[in-house]
Amino acid sequence: MSGADKPITPPLEHLPAEDAPTPALKGIEAIRDTWKRLPMKPGVYRMIGSDGEVLYVGKAKSLKNRVGQYAQGRGHTNAIYRMIHQVVSMEIIVTATETEALLLETNMIKRLRPRYNVLMRDDKSFPYIAIRTDHETPVLQKHRGAKSFKGKFYGPFASAGAVNRTLNTLQKAFLLRSCSDSTFSGRTRPCMLYQIKRCSAPCTGMVSDGEYAALVKDSVDFLEGRSVELQDRLAVEMRDSAEKLEFEHAARLRNRIRALASVRASQGINPHTFDEADVFALHVEGGQSCIQVFFFRAGQNWGNRAYFPRHSVEETPEDILSAFIAQFYDDREPPKLMLVNVEPTDRELLEEALCVRAECKVEIRRPERGEKREIVDAVLLNAREALGRRMAETGSVAKLLDGVAEVFGLSQRPERIEVYDNSHIQGTNALGAMVVAGPEGFTKNQYRKFNMKSEEFDGDDFAMMKAMIRRRFARMLQEREEDTPTQTTVADDASGHVSDGGVDFSKERDSDAPETKFGAWPDLVLIDGGDGQLNAALEALDELGLKNRITIAGIAKGVDRDAGRERFFIPGKPAFRLDEKSPVLYYLQRLRDEAHRFAIGAHRGKRSAGLTKNPLDEIGGIGPARKRALLDRFGSARGVSRAGLSELEGVEGVNKELAKRIYDFFRDGNKS
């Protein structure tokens, strides 16, 4: 297990419950009340608001000194000043060292997403290239997630596209197989990849074990940075083959050299002064920031990605980058070198914490000259341009969202719009879809699919919409209940109103809700359909007590399904249309079309899976070899279903017990 995979479990010490501040206190008085009982030890503190929301998570070398700075009530930025006056309680965890406090703080920030912390918006895992060695014939593949199998992993790559392009080239250069083990074992003749010279077909013996092992070694050399030496060696082999008049072999080697050269040529920046590093460049403008990250591994550029962290306008660049790097490596293994254009706050402490995670020395450097400085400057240019594009896009989107607010009577610009559509064919493979949009465009990691059961709607589109809306918002209520603290009764405002720790729906906007859950509250819900679908959705909301708490509308296709003639439905108001040239109409059409695209795509995937599903896959004890033997004997699953016990027992690999299980499966309907 790598350092990034090992959980950090420092010895923690919670302050006793009797030391909690008096519930009646609020703001600076609540902080001062907690401060009186704090130790001069390192740890993590959480600022809690009146509705149980975690406002801020911080770490300290000395809890007493750090919280004492808040208790002074002066010298704070406007954002911190506002936060202090919202605090009703504090939660303290004491740790053994400041390094452990930093690791715990980072974990809590990513999990709780406090309003006043710097937040990394995108925490999606990065893809890798893997050479699996748990099979006698290694396989080259893309991998994302836990490293749960034996093999070599190369990455991270900035995107799936970067991985796919590299894999495409590696297939041309090294001809390694990319098929699954079951497909490999079932081949009797080479597949199309062999025909187009993307695979050496080890499945059918078109290449010897020794030759294939040499191809695997060459691919490892390339991915580990020995590409120049590899190309030189291949060039020598190509000339030798040509001199021996082995022109076909020489041509294959020439194609491999060209493929390898094309990778390096397309990568743009390829450093010579280091082999492995992540480069971070931060650009701040107009209260917004962009952090561009470039990944270099094995002396090659493996792509880049732009991030736009959320923070207050008063945060310093040093604090922004420090918080971002800590969160970035919370669940990733850091490289030994990081290059930055701004030295992060507490650089030495950050290096120490990353060393704990990587189990090796990690260095964060701000280069002043040479190639490293040139690379950082190039990354900074990318950050500056990315932020400029984003500011231009968000400015136009903001105007469109203001128009949406005006059309649907919202009190403020919507931050979260949810659009719903469903898809099925005569009630089969029914699937509902939800897409989410906001100021930053479509938020695809919050899209959701709903596998609908026939008993939920019985072929009725209206009933299907009702069931989908009921399921989505019932989950929202459930998750918000689970996430709401219920331990302590606290004063909610100066008037002395008391919250009992239940679910608080006093505010509709909840942009800080966990991204991976259903707990976020939408500002606007759009239903793809007319009065019927809208009324069905309203019935579901009414059953949950949310009918008058969520703004909902329907968008129906125009006459003859013409784009631009859509009608909009709002509860209690007559249907209306927007001007055919209205930018807001175009924007709403895009939302509707995206929901339709997502629903149709998911439905097709579900239908395709159903078409390729074989009943034999549902019977325990039947793997690829026995399945192939049964199909070879009886021709199809239907033929297997008609076979008698004695015929089943005659198939290679099928004993009496398994034959009886297969026989009973098709006759008794036992599909457990």
pLDDT of residue 495: 31
Our measurement of the distance from residue 96's CA atom to the centroid of its chain's CA atoms, rounded to an integer in Å, reads: 33
Q: What is the pTM of this model?
A: 0.57
pLDDT of residue 46: 92
Which three-class secondary structure string do you get for 495-540? CCCEECCCCCCCCCCCCCCCCCCCCCCCCEEEEECCHHHHHHHHHH
Decide: 22 and 34 in contact? Cβ < 8 Å.
Answer: no
Within 8 A by CB and 6+ apart from 604, the residues are: none
pLDDT surpasses 50 at 348: yes
Q: Quick one: pLDDT band at residue 510, thresholds 50, 70, 90? A: very low
Residues counted in the chain: 672
- Report the top-level CATH class of 13-112: alpha beta
Q: Quick one: pLDDT band at residue 548, thresholds 50, 70, 90? A: confident
pLDDT surpasses 70 at 422: yes
Look over the chain and give the mean of its residue pLDDT values, rounded to a whole number: 79
pLDDT of residue 171: 83
pLDDT of residue 280: 95
Highest mean pLDDT among 167-171, 253-257, 603-607: 167-171
Q: Quick one: pLDDT band at residue 622, thresholds 50, 70, 90? A: confident
pLDDT surpasses 80 at 75: no
d(CA 86, CA 55): 8
Name which residue leads in pLDDT, 560 or 297: 297
d(CA 87, CA 175): 62
Name which residue leads in pLDDT, 568 or 222: 568
d(CA 302, CA 126): 11
Within 8 A by CB and 6+ apart from 23, the residues are: 88, 89, 488, 489, 490, 491
pLDDT of residue 454: 66
Q: What DSSP letter does each residue of 315-375 carry, written as one string?
A: --HHHHHHHHHHHHTSSS---SEEEESSPPTTHHHHHHHHHHHHTS--EEE---SHHHHHH
Q: Quick one: pLDDT band at residue 5, thresholds 50, 70, 90? A: very low
pLDDT surpasses 80 at 499: no
CATH level 3 topology of 277-389: Nucleotidyltransferase; domain 5 (3.30.420)
pLDDT in tens, 164-182: 877 887 888 788 898 888 8
pLDDT surpasses 60 at 669: no
**Any idea where the domains of the chain sit in the sequence?**
13-112, 128-266, 277-389, 417-610, 615-668
d(CA 189, CA 201): 9
Decide: 359 and 386 in contact? Cβ < 8 Å.
Answer: no
Q: Across residues 54-75, what is the average pLDDT?
A: 87
Q: Quick one: pLDDT band at residue 428, thresholds 50, 70, 90? A: low
pLDDT surpasses 50 at 493: no
d(CA 299, CA 480): 47
What φ, ψ does residue 500 adopt, rounded to 5°? Answer: -90, 10
Q: Quick one: pLDDT band at residue 154, thresholds 50, 70, 90? A: confident
Name which residue leads in pLDDT, 597 or 226: 597
pLDDT of residue 608: 56
Name which residue leads in pLDDT, 563 or 46: 46
Which residues does residue 90 pair with via DSSP β-bridges, in sequence order? 47
Q: Quick one: pLDDT band at residue 219, thresholds 50, 70, 90? A: confident
Backbone φ/ψ region at 287: left (φ over 0), alpha (ψ -120 to 50), beta: left
30 by Cβ neighbours in 10 Å (0-12 / 13-18 / 19+) ranks as buried
Closest to 337 measured CA to CA, from 369, 362, 374: 362
Decide: 300 and 264 in contact? Cβ < 8 Å.
Answer: yes
| Sign of the alpha-carbon dihedral angle for 557, 563, 569, 574 | negative
pLDDT in tens, 19-41: 444 456 788 888 888 888 888 99
Name which residue leads in pLDDT, 163 or 578: 578
d(CA 359, CA 349): 15
Same fold, 277-389 and 417-610: yes
**Run of H or E including 230:** helix 227-243
pLDDT of residue 407: 92
For 417-610, which CATH superfamily applies? UvrC, RNAse H endonuclease domain (3.30.420.340)
* Interior angle at CA 339, CA 338 and CA 341, nearest 5: 140
pLDDT surpasses 80 at 414: yes
| Sign of the alpha-carbon dihedral angle for 19, 85, 80, 49 | positive
What φ, ψ does residue 179 adopt, rounded to 5°? Answer: -85, 165
Decide: 80 and 66 in contact? Cβ < 8 Å.
Answer: no
Our measurement of the distance from residue 547's CA atom to the centroid of its chain's CA atoms, rounded to an integer in Å, reads: 32
pLDDT of residue 259: 66
d(CA 84, CA 68): 12
Q: Quick one: pLDDT band at residue 291, thresholds 50, 70, 90? A: very high
pLDDT of residue 561: 52
Alpha helix ranges (H) inside 409-523: 454-457, 461-483
CATH placement of domain 615-668: 1.10.150.20
Decide: 312 and 79 in contact? Cβ < 8 Å.
Answer: yes
Could you report how far apart the first and last alpha carbons of the chain are, in Å?
36
Decide: 176 and 170 in contact? Cβ < 8 Å.
Answer: yes
pLDDT in tens, 122-148: 656 778 888 888 888 999 888 887 778
Q: Quick one: pLDDT band at residue 264, thresholds 50, 70, 90? A: low
pLDDT of residue 273: 82
pLDDT of residue 7: 40
433, amino acid identity:
A
**What percentage of the chain reaches a pLDDT higher than 90?**
14
Q: Across residues 316-325, what is the average pLDDT?
A: 92
How many C-beta neighbours within 10 Å does residue 84 have?
A: 20
Name which residue leads in pLDDT, 119 or 601: 119
Closest to 528 measured CA to CA, from 564, 567, 559: 567
Name which residue leads in pLDDT, 419 or 427: 419
Decide: 486 and 468 in contact? Cβ < 8 Å.
Answer: no
